[in-house]
Amino acid sequence: MILALDMGNTNIVIGCIDSHKTYFVERVTTDHAKTGTEYAINIKNILEIHQIDPSEIEGAIMSSVVPPLNAAISSAVKKILGYHPMLVGAGIKTGMNIIMDNPKTVGSDMIVDAVAAIKEYPGPIIIIDMGTATTMSVVDKGGNYIGGIIYPGLRVSLDSLSSNTAQLPSISLDIPKHVIGKNTIDCMRSGIMYGNAGMIDGILDHMEEELGEPATIIATGGLSRFVVPLCRHKILYDDALLLKGLMILYEKNKA
């Protein structure tokens, strides 16, 4: 069993996984003000909730799109396990060709998702990861990472709408009962949820047209479960995709 962490701009995904099962997936808020000790307390508490003894964990790996917090999280893991986690970054073996203008600029979370998807699903593959930003990554039939898109996530769009308009309140992200809203909150909720679902469907159509064939479509990330049911395409939801990718990368690089 390994400890896998993915540090995003809004949440840090923490989980324990081995080659047979995912033991848990939890999220804590990304907070630049927290120290390594405070993060260590968060991680230790999560392990205790799931009744996992640190001595059962053989290794740790971390991906991050928030470099300023890498040292704090790495320190937190060392306080609990006695060693620093492996960090996904330049030089790590992925077993995947990244056909991009500058492969080093591709987000580590996008690479980790793609590594897991290649192992579990037939290509070509489109991976939707909905977090602070929504990313859609494309892997061709040969298992090559060939590109994707990035656009503002649901929460970013909703916060922008509320903060830049005088009469529109902050609302929760729930699946709307109807497309046509009957009050301001329902109209906002329907707009943000069905708007994103429609955008995803439209982009998927264009991507499959460029690929020249239908793709296996996978969704992951904390917000995907709210939007996937509203999409017209067949989309498989895999909340543990990123942890599976981290497990694969750990096994490839642990030597």
Separation in Å, CA 58 to CA 23, 81, 177, 228: 14, 9, 46, 35
Q: Is 94 annotated as contributing to ligand binding?
A: no
User: What is the enclosing helix (H) or strand (E) of 31?
Assistant: none
Q: Is 70 annotated as contributing to ligand binding?
A: no
168, exposed or middle or buried, with CB in 10 Å at 0-12, 13-18, 19+? middle
Q: Is 110 annotated as contributing to ligand binding?
A: yes
**Which is catalytic among the residues 53, 101, 109, 186?**
109
DSSP-assigned beta bridge partners for residue 217: 126
> Annotated catalytic, 113?
no
Q: Is 107 annotated as contributing to ligand binding?
A: yes
Placement of tokens 């543990």 in the chain: 240
Q: Is 136 annotated as contributing to ligand binding?
A: no
Return the closest-CA partner of residue 140 out of 216, 198, 250, 254.
216
Q: Is 30 annotated as contributing to ligand binding?
A: no
Q: Enter the tokens of residue 68.
A: 């300023």
Distance between CA atoms of residues 131 and 220, nearest Å: 9
Q: Are strands 11-17 and 86-87 parallel, antiparallel or unpaired?
A: unpaired
Q: Is 45 annotated as contributing to ligand binding?
A: no
- How would you list the strands of the sheet with 86-87, edge to edge? 22-29, 11-17, 2-7, 59-64, 86-87
Q: Is 157 annotated as contributing to ligand binding?
A: no
Q: Is 109 annotated as contributing to ligand binding?
A: yes
Q: Is 36 annotated as contributing to ligand binding?
A: no
Q: Is 99 annotated as contributing to ligand binding?
A: no
Residues annotated within a binding site: 6-13, 107-110, 129, 132, 184
Binding-site residues for K(+), please?
129
Active site residues: 109
| Binding site listing for ATP | 6-13, 132
Binding-site entries for substrate: 107-110, 184
